[in-house]
Amino acid sequence: MKTHRRTFIKHTAVAGAGLSLLNIPARLFAQQKKEKVRVGLIGVGARGQGHLNLCLRRRDVEVIAICDPDTKWAVPKSRDMIAKAYGGKKKVAEYTNGDEDFRNMLKRDDIDAVIIATPWEWHTIQAVAAMRAGKTPAVEVCGASDIQECWELVNTSEETGIPVFGMENVCYRRDVMAVLNMVRQGLFGELIHLQGGYQHDLRGVKFNNGQQLYGGGVEFGEKAMSEAKWRTNHSVHRNGDLYPTHGLGPVANMININRGNRLISLTSVATKSRGLHKYIADKGGKDHPNAKVEFKLGDIVTTLIKTNNGETIMLSHDTNSPRPYSLNFRVQGTNGLWMDDMDSIYVEGKSPYDQWEKAGQPDQADSYMNRYDHPLWKRYANDASGAGHGGMDWFVINSFVESIKRGTPYALDVYDLATWYAITPLSEQSIAEGGNVQYIPDFTRGKWINRQPVFALNGEY
């Protein structure tokens, strides 16, 4: 059984849009060089406000417009942020007239780029509309509802010549970038196996009381606010790795996926679904109406991926259970490995035999993380201080803006985004078929063979 995006959007009361797809060679991105980037934001809820804050902090970014149907909380708070940043001297246009008002914002001729931080089912619809309007989109991460959605992104980008930036912030996490540096310097030898995942107790995100962003109750859907208003419905209707990009994006960079290597196939399995029902019963009582909801999402989803160059990748999705946060990273080669959990590293010939070492912290003079701290973090740590998610959100916005200003290709592009997005529907299909192997499309159409790595090769941006 394959979940189709149009059906899901209908079930969640969100309108879809038909698309005509062609494959026409792209225009050169270099034609879009800018000194200042004029930005519109589609979606200024909790996540979008983080991006808005970073844009307002930059002298090379001008916020032109915001768009969000939430006039009770999201827009007023964003308006206050803008007024404070611009000292009340600049008026930013607001588009708040329902779910489709973003189309009116895209008609403006004074916007270069848009940042899309909306419910998942809107990402491709809005990114495609932005490209067709001549605006380059930065798109937040999630998983697609079907493979067609991934091809819509790729085909529209190729047709219009408008590039797409994938906003996977964990690719810029400090320890992850240090490990990328270790990999590129050969510390672990030849890589053979990698792991990553999204292991995050989201029960307080998926449910609230309708009065606060997180927790305080067991409501979701129309009685809730923020992410619980839309995100939890995915857990009701879908069983797969719903959020693969945090785990996949960083390790994909380490083995040059879509740039000399590619993902070939996957197989997925899921446990039974128990965690969300238990949370409702424990917090709201067994007689609460939501205690009768049957959640389809298995508490733990495991996906095993095979690559063209012979590495394996294991992804995990675990968001319904009580547990500490972990992205479950493991990077293993012929000469050793690093694991996120317990700050673990082992390098043959350097580490004591059969004993783990601590990878340490960047401020520890003789630690691995200090010795291999990535040049980007060495250069911009102070600039990123105070930005969301430990500073890595700053690097996402910086990469997006600097690429536009310089007219250079995005470090995380439409082919990466489509490949990451595709894991979700393929994992759903595999689980529905009892773990059957699913083949992952080559969204580059063979270009991966000659494309060269571009992500974080130096300390520029």
Answer yes or no: are the C-beta atoms of 170 and 392 closer than 8 Å. yes
CATH number at 172-377+414-449: 3.30.360.10
- Whether residue 414 contacts residue 135, with contact meaning beta carbons closer than 8 Å, is answered with no
The pLDDT tens digits of the residues spanning 78-124 come to: 999 999 999 988 889 999 999 999 999 999 999 999 999 999 999 99
Measured CA distances, 418 to 6, 14, 123 (Å): 18, 22, 12
Question: 259-296, pLDDT tens digit by residue?
Answer: 999 999 999 999 999 999 999 999 999 999 999 999 99
Residue type, 115: I
The confidence score (pLDDT) of residue 9 equals 39
**Start-end of H helices in 161-293:** 174-184, 203-206, 231-237, 245-254, 275-284
Q: How far is CA 229 from CA 121, 195, 258, 291, in A?
A: 13, 31, 35, 17
d(CA 201, CA 323): 6
Beta carbons of 392 and 169 less than 8 angstroms apart: yes
pLDDT for the residue 31: 53
DSSP assignment of 237-260: H--S-S--HHHHHHHHHHTTBTTT
The reported pTM is 0.92
Across the chain, which has 461 residues, the per-10-residue mean pLDDT values are 39 34 39 83 96 96 97 96 92 96 98 97 98 98 96 98 98 98 98 98 97 95 95 98 98 98 98 98 97 98 98 98 97 98 96 97 95 97 89 96 97 98 98 98 98 96 94
Distance separating alpha carbons of residues 155 and 24, to the nearest angstrom: 8
Q: Report pLDDT for 26.
A: 40
Q: Which amino acid is at 386?
A: G
> Tens digits of per-residue pLDDT, 196-226?
999 999 999 999 999 999 999 999 999 999 9
**What are the residue boundaries of the structural domains of the chain, listed by start?**
172-377+414-449
> What are the φ and ψ backbone dihedral angles of 316, each rounded to 5 degrees?
-130, 145
333 neighbors 346 (Cβ within 8 angstroms): no
For position 111, what pLDDT does the model report?
A: 97
CB 165 within 8 A of CB 198: no
Count of other CB atoms within 10 angstroms of residue 140: 25
pLDDT at 23: 35
